[in-house]
């Protein structure tokens, strides 16, 4: 779970990982994100999955010109409380070790 997904993805990439996929969607009710994320990660070859989850009012969910969800609008108009029957915006990033950073026998990067 990541508080600032973009920052944590950047840190992982600086640490030798690469992003191989991302997704975002609106879900209803508490969902078992961890189990689904692990299954999806296995299918796409990711070794790390970072995700963020925000409670949301459906009327606050807007799409930007590129089709992504406007998180600023979701955050600006939060629900009064979290509910097992409420809606949530989920963003996830799938990462794996950067294959272009190959280790030499001495441990250096070439």
Q: What is the pLDDT of residues 51-103, one digit of tens each?
A: 888 999 999 999 999 999 999 999 999 998 877 788 999 899 999 999 887 55
Distance CA 54, CA 82 (A): 9
Domain extents in the chain: 5-97
Nearest of 45, 44, 69 to residue 57 by alpha carbon: 69
Q: Using a cut of 0.85, tell me whether the model's pTM lies above it.
A: no
């Amino acid at each position: 779970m990541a508080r600032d997904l973009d920052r944590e993805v950047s840190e992982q990439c600086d640490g030798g990982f690469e992003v191989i996929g991302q997704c975002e969607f609106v879900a209803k009710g508490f969902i078992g994100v961890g189990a689904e994320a692990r299954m999806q990660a296995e299918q796409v070859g990711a070794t790390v999955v970072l995700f963020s989850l925000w409670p949301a009012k459906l009327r606050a969910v807007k799409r930007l010109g590129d089709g992504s969800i406007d998180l600023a609008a979701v955050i600006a108009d939060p629900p009064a409380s979290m509910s097992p029957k409420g809606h949530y915006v989920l963003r996830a990033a799938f990462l794996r070790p950067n294959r272009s950073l190959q280790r030499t026998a001495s441990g250096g990067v070439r």
